[in-house]
Structure 1
């Protein structure tokens, strides 16, 4: 188990991390999610051993590996790293990349050192590169290079695998394929994984737990379905899933929108924190659109995007712009159409507003 305890990190006058607490259990897949500059890469560097925190400490399996006065360097931690840029050596073949940590990493088990050839073959087979073992990086595609980086990182069986936006350099279709590869690697290696990304779809698809960061602080840490359906803060609601944030007043679990004081909206699982701030978050897919029948809550379609199984609408409602995702099997609307909006309840029924 890895514990990050009250860790703060600064760069001159800028505070990159503010007293961060985080527990990573053995075998857990953690996604660190947030916008650029939120502190996620700084946290990864601290876990890797590239720097010391200005306060707090990091404990790995009861051993303090980082504090203000102590730093265990990366080569003395049982970790593997996968970088955004692949970081492959141009003079080494695929086979040599995977063999290198088995020969030189201090945490390589004695049993592995006794069967290096077999271990290299097993790892290359796991990532689907056994037929490319004699190729050099210049002879590989982007996806193949990333597989080499994964293979090298897991060859010595690290307890912790750190990934810094490893799929950002790949095209969209290849990223989808590599997600499956990463999940397969996680299942078969049982290593703890800390995966840094700004892509919410990657985090939601792969992680056991998502840690959402903003301005050097953890906004919320929970399972993907909890992060998505029950955001604790306004930032999480807007960053993960792009919620529509409606201002108003909560009274006995009933919400009264500020701009529509005659309306009464049901509680669809809003967190206590958001209720206290007078916020009602509505996911784009939680809206129901119908043709205008002169109801109070209506708006005008200002933008339409066909997305295959969904149609994404932008709706102007009074002075606000709301995002709506509707099924292609529902009624089709076009720019300029006036529509009613209603909120879907948990039972998929709708409450007309």
Structure 2
């Protein structure tokens, strides 16, 4: 994908809001999406992410604001370009396959009926179908019907159908939530591969932080109808700007204390001074220091915050601890090679050497 193509703004959302009666689902959303980007909309249930996707699809109109796609105004509170007049593809949480059509027929359908199919694809459906089925690994299943397919294969069919007409924008609404954990991991790799091969612009809605961190070029974190933070996966994970982002992505512990210049002094251990922590100004103003579970060093003696272990969960190469420190519950992840503590043990918590807190922690988390 060329630099010029990647930097061209494809979609602009300008002050988009949506209300249902007295309920405000979206509040003043401003967002620009570049051509070829993979954008993940991440947030808990009810945060407004699916409403945003429906507005992009043209299923509803905004209450205020405007939406521009490929330099064309497609939505305001007074006028909305309908879905069939937008060059989009959609993949739903449910596979939404037709039981009377086989795999090949599912892919052929949008080639025959999508109004934006270019002439080259229109003249040679068979080649396009073959190419798409090869891309999603379903060449041998072309004649099978949905009832003869596994969950992962059905989702590949839904992807193939959406991609076949080469849409300008591919909208994906929790596409992997119906699959088991192992299949989700496999399909994440498939979607990444498809994005690399097709260079499609993808808007991917999810509540799963590992999906967003593992696949997206940028993540839009939403909460209560607002955008909390936009950034690369590394930025969102390592440098959260708000309390919500800190706890929702990376599961940070929000430690209370005081910031003194570049030092943080935790309330539960005033003799401690934590330094070299890259913390946002917003959190510093609240005298909060977010510490991810893997940032803690546990020891049975020495300096640090003192706490009692209340839960122990073995996770293979890691052990996950819950530690009661005063009135706060702290989550810590420790390497199995560091030893093992038991329920009721008293431990000291300190911060690992910041120089060792590399991007590998982020990659390990996803």
Please say whether Structure 1 and Structure 2 have the same fold, judged by a TM-score greater than 0.5: yes
Partner of residue 49, structure 1: 58
CA distance in 2, matches of 1:237, 1:289: 22
Runs of 4 or more above 2 Å deviation: 258-263
CA distance in 2, matches of 1:228, 1:176: 20
Pair 1:145-2:154 in alignment: yes
Pair 1:272-2:281 in alignment: yes
Pair 1:62-2:107 in alignment: no
Unpaired segments ≥5 residues, structure 1: none
Partner of residue 135, structure 2: 126
Pair 1:243-2:252 in alignment: yes
Partner of residue 271, structure 2: 262
Pair 1:319-2:358 in alignment: no
CA distance in 1, matches of 2:280, 2:354: 15
Partner of residue 307, structure 1: 315
Partner of residue 169, structure 1: 178
Which among 335, 349, 352 is matched to residue 341 of structure 1? 349
CA distance in 2, matches of 1:123, 1:184: 13
CA distance in 1, matches of 2:329, 2:65: 43
CA RMSD of aligned residues (A): 1.0
Unpaired segments ≥5 residues, structure 2: 1-9, 358-366
Residue 336 of structure 1 deviates from its aligned partner by: 1.3
CA distance in 2, matches of 1:258, 1:204: 32
Residue 99 of structure 1 deviates from its aligned partner by: 0.3
Aligned residues: 348
Residue 345 of structure 1 deviates from its aligned partner by: 3.1
Partner of residue 14, structure 1: 23
Structure richer in helix, relative to its length: 2
Partner of residue 12, structure 2: 3
Partner of residue 164, structure 2: 155
CA distance in 1, matches of 2:62, 2:26: 9
Partner of residue 252, structure 1: 261
Q: Show the 5 A alignment for 1:151-230.
A: 151-230=160-239
Which among 77, 85, 95 is matched to residue 94 of structure 2? 85
CA distance in 2, matches of 1:346, 1:260: 19
Which among 338, 349, 356 is matched to residue 330 of structure 1? 338
Moved more, 326-335 or 215-224: 326-335
Residue 9 of structure 1 deviates from its aligned partner by: 0.3
Indicate if the aligned counterparts of 1:290 and 1:331 stay in contact, CA closer than 8 A: no
Residue 311 of structure 1 deviates from its aligned partner by: 0.8
SS in 2 for 1:329: helix
Partner of residue 47, structure 2: 38
